[in-house]
Amino acid sequence: MFVLYSLIDIGIERLDLLAQDITFTNTLNFLSSEADSICSLNDSIVDRFCSDILPRIQCNVQCLIFESILMERILLVTNYPNLTKLKIFNVNQDIVLRYFTNESPFRHIFKQQITNLTVINNDTDVHISTVDYTKDVYVHIFNFFTNLKHLSIAKSSSGMCQGLLLRDLSSTTFSSSILIKLCINVHGIDDCLSLLDGRLENLLTLIVFMDSVKNHSSTMQNLNDLPNLKCFSLRIGSLNYVYDTLIVPLLRRMRNLEELTLDLRISNQTRFVDGTQLHNEILIHMAQLHKFIFYIKTIIQKNNSLPRLSNDDIQRTFTNIGYEQVGCIVENRSILYVNCHVFSLPFAFDRLKLVGTNFPNIIYNNVTVLCVRDSIPFKHEFFVRIARCFPLLKSIFIINHELDLKDQYEIESDLNELYTKDFYDYFPLL
């Protein structure tokens, strides 16, 4: 596209017309790199677009993708009568309070035209309270863009912004009769449940992220079925105790669901989440489901009644319910805990955390962050496997601890026990 636009005004009328054709101008992306490492385009290129090109193609532009620092340069240069979609990177609280107001020079575009908004939040101020952040960012955006049908407010990979907290706010907060798709980072499971209490009556797709299940209330008001919901995605960094009491009942309410995505880390269980459990307690209640993407890690404490299971044993529970494309990793190295990873194939997520050396030899095309740990030393061949299996890897974290360090190092006697135990037993939830 940039090569094509560089040919404007060189004296060839056919190229001028082609460059202004709607086929090439319905979406303009003012980012020069992929989402996790955004950097601005060269200023001269932006200037040329703003001064020479955008005024010519204004009627064709339906979607703009840019960094917040370019907002004024792009939106003030001309009118965009058919612009309905915005995707803005590197947004923070100051940007929201400055531009998403009735005094904003482009308020007419925001309030009247935009029906599809994606905000990639890059706030790093950890001192902002969750309550204030909810009011000043999430609720502020929601109330200002009055015609939204699709809304996504997500944090960047380096952002530390707070999640949406609906506790103590009115049931009319975040209420809309026209919103059909919402992607959002929430503070806790109660906030996810609140979004499904009827305030978004025509919602078809809900994508929710949360770091962990924080303190939750046992008195949610609306626990009715959710017949309108067609697509649901839930990603939780750490899920403790409440899988059976909160997550499973929530999923059972979605009887007409067609697409389901689960990315869960579940601890303090007495059983593995395997194919049999998923089928009997969740999938059997979703007759319309045709797409199920998942990565579920279960951590359970060892005891005498716990059978020793292999990858094949877990794999068989999925084969029995008709799911052939599934990967399994069972880790028994710990003295106290057993970890079980189950995931749909191809692996659809960007992170694979705390696996040992026995991960399946497949290509993980989406993984950019990998964390591996084991109590035995990693050999050169292991890193060859890493390079082959994770072609897009950007970050790797390695936790390695040898079982016997006494002969290699002089360690004080009161530390010997710590260093000779399995790392899993000290940090089982990592």
pLDDT in tens, 36-76: 333 445 677 778 788 888 888 888 899 999 999 999 999 99
- Residue 176: is its pLDDT beyond 80? yes
Q: Are 188 and 166 in contact, with CB atoms under 8 Å apart?
A: no
Alpha helices for 253-379 (secondary structure H): 275-281, 311-319
Query: Residues, the chain, total?
Result: 430
Poorest-pLDDT segment among 14-23, 131-140, 201-210, 297-306: 14-23
Rounded to an integer, the average pLDDT of 241-254 is 90
What pLDDT is stored for residue 17 in this prediction? Answer: 67
Cα-based distances in Å from 425 to 10, 206, 338, 391: 69, 36, 10, 31
Give mean pLDDT, residues 118-125: 89
Asked if residue 92 has pLDDT above 80, the reply is yes
Q: Parse the chain into domains and list their residue ranges.
A: 1-65
What does the alpha-carbon distance between residue 220 and residue 210 come to, in Å, rounded to a whole number?
A: 18
**Greater pLDDT, 259 or 17:** 259
Q: Scanning the structure block, which residue is given the tokens 């797709």?
A: 205
